[in-house]
A and B are shown apart, each in its own frame.
Chain A
Amino acid sequence: MMPRAMRRRTRLLFALGATIAVAGCRHVEPWQRESLADRRMRWSAKPERAAAREHVLSIREGTQGGHGDYGSGCGCD
């Protein structure tokens, strides 16, 4: 028997998932994709700037070398 707090969290997660699923059923016409095509909707609207930041963070944090950044010598350490 799950504790009450866990049951509440589980219900909230199901409700969130159902909301997203229902929202996902909404049809999107091609002429409604203006926002989706906007560069400001991209995670990396400016790849060079994003890469500079990711390079710094991957060296300064413990996840370097795993996903797209293959590491470096001692220079930036």
Chain B
Amino acid sequence: MLAAPAAARAEDRVAGAVAVYHDSDHVTVVSPTLAGTRQQGRASADARLDLDVISAASIDLVTAASPAGFQETRTAVDGTFGYDLREGRSAHAGYGYSYEPDFRTHSVTAGGAAEAFGRRTTLSLDYGFARSRVGRVDDSAFERTRATHRIDLGVSHVLSPVLVAEVAWGVALSTGYHANPYRFVRLYQPGMDPPTTAVTETAPAERLRHLLTARLRARPIRRLFAIADYRLHLDDWGVVTHTATGRATFALAERVLDVSVEIRGYTQGAADFYRSRYDTFPAEPVLRTANKELGPMRTLLGGVVLDHVLYARGTRDVRVGLGGDWLRLFYLDYPALPVRTAVVLVLDLEANL
């Protein structure tokens, strides 16, 4: 987690949003969100409710356990308590719970931030732990668990009145069940078609990841805000990813209308045990996956957001926003679905009180 600038303080806030995701692989997700922040003295409390209403008939499902597709709802709640310790220091702790019929997660987080060097540098440290239970909706006896620990360390530094630089490092270790109980891996006799059999997916019992982030935030001219972000992900499964994001926000009419445009590029190398086709029958590889998201892939995203201030008086305002992302995913070694196109529309309303 990157450190927030010193001047970004909690404020009373209520917000709601609806996001709609739809892609060319016949997956539609409608995600309403409700969130609120309340500040009282030096203490603040945040709460949030997320829903995902999923309708899917993707290639992964049609070729696996649910040929007719399925519908499902995921519910997640989060709460965070923060406290201003004065002299540029703060602490926070939170709890989250996510539920869907075959996946439940309890998570806790704790962390703090401190300013230094005349409040120009902010250091942040966060710890998170999550425990998940993985099941199968058609098999009540099936239950596996997964635990994840993560630590995030961030540093942000004010370079000038209009320029902030940030770097962060995060490490996450997850142990337990990492496969998907609904996904089956086809095994072929070498050079033969169709597949001879299909076996359940398996994955390593442990995954250690590192995430390095570097970011610049600038206001080169009064009506223009720019952010550039680069992320490097490495893990012991062999997955290496690079992400570069650029965003520009134009204040078309100060305190009335902002327009943001964003472009993001992502490239990923495959996990060591990923194969687009396992020509190993009768032998079953110890590690085997049908997860295309563990293969080599590229992603390109372009987005536009309009933000309109409906009401403003002093520090209070009410805003409405409408944003759209266009997403193109290229699965470089997955013949069943080489390309996927998705759109995400988000309508949000917030009141800062």
Contact = CB atoms under 8 A, between A and B. Distances in A.
A52 to B, nearest CB: 4
B257 interface: no
B285 interface: no
Interface string A29-72: 00011111110111100111101110111011111111110111
B98 A49 contact: no
Contacts of A23: 159-160, 163
A53 B321 CA distance: 14
Interface string B131-155: 0101000000000001010101000
Given A40-B225, A49-B346, A26 B160 contact: yes
A32 B299 CA distance: 39
B344 A20 contact: no
Contact of A28 (B161, B172, B181): B161
Interface size class of A (residues with CB under 8 A): 35 or more
Given A49-B346, A71-B105, A36 B35 contact: no
Given A42-B4, A49-B323, A63-B209, A70 B342 contact: no
Contacts of A28: 120, 158, 160-161
B325 interface: yes
Interface stretch (B53-61, B83-91, B189-197, B276-284): B53-61
Interface residues of B, number: 102
A67 B102 contact: no
B235 A68 contact: no
A74 B348 contact: no
Contacts of A77: 58, 60, 180, 291, 293
A37 B5 contact: yes
Contacts of A35: 161-162, 219
A76 B52 contact: yes
A3 interface: no
Contacts of B340: 60
Given A40-B225, A49-B305, A76 B29 contact: yes
A61 B241 contact: yes
B346 A72 contact: no
Contacts of A47: 15, 35
Contacts of B183: 74
Nearest to B225: A40
A66 B210 CA distance: 9
A36 B52 contact: no
Contacts of B2: 43
A33 B249 contact: no
Contacts of A66: 148, 150, 170, 172, 174, 207, 209, 211, 233, 235
B39 interface: no
Residue among A20, A34, A60 with the highest chain B CB neighbour number at 10 A: A60
B217 A60 contact: no
Interface of A: 20, 23-24, 26-28, 32-38, 40-43, 46-49, 51-53, 55-57, 59-68, 70-77
- The list of the 5 closest CB pairs from A to B, nearest first, reads A73-B103, A37-B7, A52-B19, A48-B17, A32-B161
20 contacts: A20-B165, A23-B160, A27-B118, A35-B161, A36-B7, A43-B2, A43-B227, A46-B348, A48-B48, A49-B346, A52-B344, A53-B344, A57-B266, A62-B268, A63-B233, A63-B239, A67-B209, A75-B70, A75-B72, A77-B180
Given A53-B346, A67-B150, 9 more contacts: A33-B158, A37-B5, A38-B219, A46-B17, A48-B350, A65-B207, A71-B132, A71-B146, A76-B56
